[in-house]
Amino acid sequence: MPLTVSAEPYAYTLPEPGTALVVIDMQRDFVEPGGFGDTLGNDIGRVAAIVPTVARLIAFARSRGWTVVHTRESHAADLSDCPPAKRTRGSPSLRIGDEGPMGRILVRGEPGNAIVDACAPVAGEIVLDKPGKGAFYATRLGELLQARGVTHLVLAGVTTEVCVQTTMREANDRGYECLLVEDATESYFPEFKSATLDMVRAQGGIVGWTAPLAALEAAAG
């Protein structure tokens, strides 16, 4: 039976099976003190605050039998998949590949690159390391979803206006119907999150839908 969720700009109906939850970059480097987000001078308290909601959403998806996907923005140890323009942009106190309090910043296998414990994947869930902002770029996400018959994506994670929005737009261009869970995503800048939610659901849902987690839970009864 499909679930019909009270959402913006109008009700969102998702099939079960056929739905995947995509949790974007809930990594220590973005959420915890000493990580990359912190070195950029951001208020990490904002993103850390959504961890319990994201964990609740993951538990909900597991209980419904959805495909669950976790992504990590990460690079090879030799940074061969990190364009110089990405590494040198701006003036952070630490750059990608530099040694930080939790190991080398955004490098695979380092402690800071791990997903926070509360949102950690379990056996059988998809874990993708992505070198870019979007989860489809230079990954196998598209073919993995296709193999599972997924047509609808529910998205969560950080940050709303960068990796989450990029992934949602990539998915929209590939024909997926996407719902962004409003209280399971966050930005270091509240105005950026607000603007992204408005852009997603503008013009009749030009990119997709948004709804709080409570609306999903209510739809499931």
Q: Is 143 left (phi over 0), alpha (psi -120 to 50) or beta?
A: alpha
To the query of whether residue 130 is one of the catalytic residues in this protein, the response is yes
The amino acid present at 100, given as its one-letter code, is: G
The amino acid present at 109, given as its one-letter code, is: G
- How many other C-beta atoms lie within 10 A of the C-beta of residue 52? 12
Residue in 29, 119, 130, 193 annotated catalytic: 130
Nearest Cα residue to 122 out of 169, 181, 55? 55
Residue in 82, 119, 163, 178 annotated catalytic: 163
To the query of whether residue 119 is one of the catalytic residues in this protein, the response is no
CB 17 within 8 A of CB 217: no
To the query of whether residue 25 is one of the catalytic residues in this protein, the response is yes
Nearest Cα residue to 23 out of 117, 111, 120? 120
**Active site residue ranges:** 25, 130, 163
